Amino acid sequence: MCGIVGLWNPNDPDPLTRARAMASTIVHRGPDDAGFHATDGLAIGMRRLSIIDLAGGHQPIFNEDGSLAIVFNGEIYNHAEIRASLEARGHRFATRCDTEVIVHAFEEHGADCVHLFNGMFAFAIWDARTRSLFLARDRMGVKPLYWTWDGTRFAFASEMKALVASGVVAKRLDERALWHYLTFGYVPGEAAIWDGIRKLPPAHRLTLTPRGGDPVVERYWDIPGPAPEELTTAQRDEKFAELFEDAVRRRLIADVPVGILLSGGLDSSAVAAVVRKVHDGPVSTFSVAFRDGGVADESGYARLMARAIGADHHEIFIGEEEFSAFLPEFAWFADEPLSDSASIALYHVSQLARQHVKVVLSGEGSDELLGGYAFEETLRYVRQRERLARRSRPLRQLTPSWLASLVLARAPESRLARLLAHEDEVLRLLAPNMTRVMSSREKRRLWPAGPRFEDSMEVVRRVYDRAPAGTTLSRILYAYSQDWLVEDLLMKADKMTMANSIELRVPFLDYRLVEWISRQDDASKLRLDESGAATRKVLLRRYASGRLPPEIVERPKVGFATPTMEWVRTDHNGFRSRALGRPGAWVRDRFSPKVIDEIAHRAGFDRRATAQAWLLIVLENWAQRWL
């Protein structure tokens, strides 16, 4: 694990100095080592967190004749098998590390080498023979990779702050990204908060050649649609157990101690149970809770699971004081505004874990793959709207097609749109997703002088447009896995763990497990009985029965609860007023002070306004740190 940077500018006589400056901003990602390579206007570099082959894994790493150079962030869990195949083809290795496997695989297979890798990765390879640069990001987007191109100069990095330090991009706010943040609480899609910076999406690769033209970005993999096998329940359970346990086993490969982030929920507890089964050595677990207690304190369940597997358990308790004190640094490490309040707790538990281990496993991804949220309610609403659409056929037939299209495009959430939508369009129109903090109308009131951008839900609708054909549930899970999971959960997981120089691994996102689960029928994920009661994450719950304490298997999902919204609601210790009421606050200069005051007032009794106030508090802290 590390942080990578690179710069290609044919007119720059000293790109190495810029690359060093870029790398200096992300030392937290790799405090153990640094390395650089520069030639003819190009410089690549890295900061290393040593996990595998501690002595021999210095980067950049080259192939035998030095024509290929790589910088790599991540882990390739099947590198031993790939190495054996490449050695059989005559490749010679100088180290034991997985980084060298990638460069030889590229030498053998070119851009298609990405199909060989089971892991989390973001890497860049310079090919001196063709004078081309190749970048790739892992299938599910566990590791981030940012890039920028102005027509002459190209740069990439693991974090945006490194690109800002490159001198290639101006520190200029992308107002469209800000517009979308106000709806989602994160910046979705390929955009970034800084104008000119792009995210390389999950399962994409990028090639830049000296022949001119823009970088070529292409998708190399996608989550498949449903294609259920004819299996008995016992066979399906056996296959799930085989894939899940192997995913955990592979993520224990390391030359340093490995631990588990244990929330006490079903997902991380299942990971812990497998670790205990496949790992002979001692197991360390880590959890975080809030001193305020209540639903935000799940420490009792974490202790219960730790005792069940005989783990050496560590926990940390934080309160509003630690939470507020970290907000300015949170803005620095996160790079762009991110309103997921669990981020701060994740930072603190990662800080605790770093005192004992260098690698941790967690349960991210299970909910998005296996239907862990209240999707039964979403499905009921979608079906209700589909019935309305069928009953509205006479009205639709009387309405000119151009008018119906205009209404659906300009006012997709209006009452008229509900009547004019075809039943096949309902899911796309609704575009179920995790967060919708502000509507376009609310944003225009808040930001009356701002540009008029498209409705932010169009970003999510485009994700639904590319979802593979399948059931309503399968398409919803696809959208959640491509948007919310990537841009919120995995982004915060990477940034907060790497802020503490610790590597996070996510077994549920092993691509083999993702493909197999995605092909199973809905009943393997979400099952409704005759009364309408739902059983979520069916496959995982069956796996956990008998392996985990029943108190954990049977407890309802609560997510990672934090008392943040209560602090905002009550303005605890000035938590809300310090950020939003201060004269000269950035948000008051950018947006309508009158509307901000309305939101702050209603936050004391209205849940939606509370969430909006927190969104603005995060934005204010980010602006104070970066602008």
Summary mean pLDDT of the chain: 91
What's the pLDDT score for residue 23? Answer: 95
Q: pLDDT band for 215, please (50, 70, 90 cuts).
A: very high
What's the pLDDT score for residue 321? Answer: 86
* Percent of the chain scoring above 90 in pLDDT: 74
3-state secondary structure 555-607: CCCCCCCCCHHHHHHHCHHHCCHHHHCCCCCHHHHHCCHHHHHHHHHHCCCCH
Pairing of β 284-290 and β 312-318: parallel
How many whole angstroms from its chain centre is CA 225?
21
Measured CA to CA, the distance from residue 102 to residue 212 in angstroms comes to 26
Going 548 to 235 to 557 to 323, the CA torsion angle's sign is positive
Domain CATH for 153:
3.60.20.10
Range of the domain at 175: 2-219
What's the pLDDT score for residue 420? Answer: 66
Q: pLDDT band for 265, please (50, 70, 90 cuts).
A: very high
Rg (CA), the chain: 25
- The distance in angstroms from the start CA to the end CA of the chain is 30
Whether 532 has a pLDDT exceeding 80, the answer reads: no
Q: 30 and 172 share a domain?
A: yes
What's the pLDDT score for residue 592? Answer: 97
What's the pLDDT score for residue 555? Answer: 82
Chain segment 401-413, per-residue pLDDT in tens:
777 667 666 667 6
Task: Give how many domains the chain has, as a whole number.
Answer: 4
- Return the structure tokens found at 143: 């590791």
- Count other Cβ atoms within 10 Å, centred on residue 601: 13
Structural domain includes residue 459: no
491 three-class SS: helix
Whether 300 has a pLDDT exceeding 80, the answer reads: yes
Q: 416 and 353 share a domain?
A: no
Structural domain includes residue 440: no
How many C-alpha atoms does 118 have within 13 Å on its Cβ side? 24
Chain segment 563-615, per-residue pLDDT in tens:
888 889 988 788 888 899 988 999 999 999 999 999 999 999 999 999 999 99
CB 427 within 8 A of CB 463: no
Q: 363 and 247 share a domain?
A: yes
What's the pLDDT score for residue 281? Answer: 85
Domain termination site, one of 413, 433, 453: 433
Structural domain includes residue 439: no
What's the pLDDT score for residue 84? Answer: 96
What's the pLDDT score for residue 620? Answer: 97
Q: 214 and 362 share a domain?
A: no
Which of the residue ranges 15-19, 90-94, 478-482, 590-594 would you say has the lowest mean pLDDT?
Answer: 90-94
Q: 128 and 270 share a domain?
A: no
Going 351 to 352 to 354 to 358, the CA torsion angle's sign is negative
CA dihedral 240, 346, 615, 176 (to 10 degrees): -70
Q: 20 and 140 share a domain?
A: yes
Measured CA to CA, the distance from residue 345 to residue 287 in angstroms comes to 9
Structural domain includes residue 466: no
Structural domain includes residue 122: yes
What's the pLDDT score for residue 295? Answer: 59
- Mean predicted confidence (pLDDT) in 493-506: 95
Whether 189 has a pLDDT exceeding 80, the answer reads: yes
- Mean predicted confidence (pLDDT) in 467-474: 95
What's the pLDDT score for residue 228? Answer: 85
Which residues are registered as beta bridge partners of 191?
198
Structural domain includes residue 469: no
**232-248 in b/e burial notation, b at 16+ Cβ within 10 A?**
eeeebbeebeebbbbbb
Catalytic residue list contains 2:
yes
What's the pLDDT score for residue 56? Answer: 64
Whether 308 has a pLDDT exceeding 90, the answer reads: yes
What pTM value is reported for the model? 0.94
Q: 386 and 330 share a domain?
A: no
Whether 561 has a pLDDT exceeding 90, the answer reads: no
Q: 383 and 410 share a domain?
A: yes
Domain CATH for 538:
3.40.50.620
Whether 418 has a pLDDT exceeding 70, the answer reads: no
- Mean predicted confidence (pLDDT) in 291-306: 80
Q: pLDDT band for 293, please (50, 70, 90 cuts).
A: low
What's the pLDDT score for residue 505? Answer: 96
- Mean predicted confidence (pLDDT) in 506-520: 98
- Mean predicted confidence (pLDDT) in 224-243: 94
Q: pLDDT band for 10, please (50, 70, 90 cuts).
A: confident
Unique residue bearing structure tokens 């905002």: 568
Structural domain includes residue 455: no
Which of the residue ranges 350-354, 417-421, 466-470 would you say has the lowest mean pLDDT?
Answer: 417-421
Q: 264 and 381 share a domain?
A: no
Q: 503 and 408 share a domain?
A: no
Domain termination site, one of 554, 579, 595: 554
Chain segment 82-102, per-residue pLDDT in tens:
999 999 999 998 888 899 999
What order of strands is seen across the sheet that includes strand 119-127?
Answer: 61-62, 68-76, 119-127, 132-137, 204-208, 216-219
Q: pLDDT band for 558, please (50, 70, 90 cuts).
A: low
Structural domain includes residue 445: no
What order of strands is seen across the sheet that includes strand 42-48?
Answer: 33-39, 42-48, 2-8, 154-157, 146-149, 197-199
- Mean predicted confidence (pLDDT) in 468-480: 96
Catalytic residue among 2, 68, 273, 426: 2
Which of the residue ranges 154-168, 359-373, 521-535 would you say has the lowest mean pLDDT?
Answer: 521-535
Domain termination site, one of 554, 587, 610: 554
Q: 366 and 392 share a domain?
A: no
- Mean predicted confidence (pLDDT) in 374-395: 82
Q: pLDDT band for 436, please (50, 70, 90 cuts).
A: very high
Q: 290 and 330 share a domain?
A: yes
